Structure 1
Amino acid sequence: MTKAGINHPIFARFYARVSRAVERAGLAERRERLLAGLHGTVIEVGAGPGLTFAHYPPAVARVLAVEPEPHLRRLAQANAGKARVRIDVVDGLAERLPGAEASFDAAVMSLVLCSVADQASALREVRRVLAPGGQLRFLEHVLADSPAMIGVQRLLDATVWPRLFGGCHTSRDSAAAIERAGFTLERLERFLLPEIRTPLSYLILGVARR
């Protein structure tokens, strides 16, 4: 949930603390499913504090983890040292990813499409660095499924929420954005976390292919 290219020191510290509670509430299990079966070289876009790192399977040869927020990047670097696979954490923007064209077997985006400045540009970059047939694995909070909650989300997004929470937008339809970027959706699961409906409870987990 970090916005590429901008420092959010207060939000970053808040997010790092809250994330631990959300992991215990069930998100860690979803991260395990998100990364299951990955192999080869992977680019993770918007790595945050590195909470996915513990879930990468041993068949992954290397992860290039891109995180623009300095405090979160330091936490990610510490978590990279505990991972089962090689993870290199670097500064970078989702809209201008490090890496040559078609240089990664897979890409991972976890709670980042809500806050990138330009979803279309970020997804074009992901598509650029993925090899033909490469996978995009994604775990994102998205637009609600009821008009009433969508209204609440859009009100939040139009007022203080993005400014207070690192550029996060609660009402983005990230699955549609992934398809518009030229990916083919192969699997899409929608779920609530927590099961009590809040503007941030609507999540998707899936696989798309370049």
Structure 2
Amino acid sequence: MTPGPGTQSRAELRFAAWYDRLTARAEHGWAGQRRAALVGALTGRVLDLGAGTGANLPHFRAAVEVTAVEPSAAMRAQLAAKLGQARVPVEVVDAAAEDLPFPDGHFDAVVCTLVLCTVPDPARALAEIRRVLEPDGRLVFLEHVRATGLAARAQDLITPLVRHFGAGCHPNRDTVANLNAAGFTLQAAQTFKPLPRIPLIAPFVAGTAVPAHR
């Protein structure tokens, strides 16, 4: 998760401190299974964007190297403590998704897991992802997204509260539409509602996207 660069608020620090405990049940169940399926077979140079406290680390198996980008100092400290869980070389980088310090086409794959809901400027972040992604590379993602009907309106109402306590998280963000607008084509995507349900933090989408020029 990426609360953004700069000084962190008390709410962001508390969120980082409690994040692993809050997500432990999901990570031992559906979330961990989804992460493993998404990133386990990725090869070459991989960018783990908004790497948070390092939930993806134990699931990388085939990458030559992983660059874990995380702008939250509190999250990064927990991430660094978990580097021993990784099966592949990992470099931790302090950077924002909207301003990545890497050359064009540097990565064979980019991973976004529960991060595109939090970036302050999703259009700019997706433009940066496309820039640093090798032309034949792919973006793999696991995100919670905007619902429909009354649930979507309820998400709109709770978004200010969730943003404050959830390190900038937008439960009402239409990430699939943002991917399309940024010039990505979804090759495979599955929409689902995991159990146990988290009120108004659903549905989720997991899948793969590639630059639309292909």
TM-score grouping bracket, smaller chain normalisation = over 0.9
- Partner of 1:64, secondary structure, is strand
Partner of 2:133: 130
**Is it true that 1:52 corresponds to 2:56 in the alignment?**
yes
Report how many residues are paired. Answer: 207
Match of 1:9 among 9, 13, 26: 13
Partner of 1:156: 158
1:187, 1:201 → 2: CA distance?
19
**Is it true that 1:34 corresponds to 2:38 in the alignment?**
yes
Verify the 8 A CA contact 2:146 2:202 in the aligned structure 1. Answer: no
Distance 1:42 1:190, change over 3 A: same
Partner of 1:73: 76
Residue identity in the other structure for 1:187: A
**Is it true that 1:93 corresponds to 2:99 in the alignment?**
no
User: CA offset at residue 22 of structure 1?
Assistant: 2.0
User: CA offset at residue 16 of structure 1?
Assistant: 2.5
Report % sequence identity: 39
Which segment is superposed worse, 191-200 or 70-79? Answer: 191-200
User: CA offset at residue 195 of structure 1?
Assistant: 4.9
User: Structure 2: 5+ residue runs without aligned partners?
Assistant: none
- Partner of 1:160, secondary structure, is helix
User: CA offset at residue 37 of structure 1?
Assistant: 2.2
Residue identity in the other structure for 2:115: V
User: CA offset at residue 187 of structure 1?
Assistant: 0.5
1:196, 1:13 → 2: CA distance?
23
Partner of 1:20: 24
Verify the 8 A CA contact 1:25 1:194 in the aligned structure 2. Answer: no
Verify the 8 A CA contact 2:105 2:135 in the aligned structure 1. Answer: yes
Verify the 8 A CA contact 1:105 1:131 in the aligned structure 2. Answer: yes
Q: Deviations over 1:17-55 (max 9, x none)?
A: 212222124210010111132100001110000010100
Residue identity in the other structure for 1:42: V
Verify the 8 A CA contact 1:80 1:89 in the aligned structure 2. Answer: no
Match of 2:112 among 105, 109, 114: 109
User: Structure 1: 5+ residue runs without aligned partners?
Assistant: none
2:169, 2:132 → 1: CA distance?
25
Verify the 8 A CA contact 1:195 1:201 in the aligned structure 2. Answer: no
Distance 1:154 1:160, change over 3 A: same
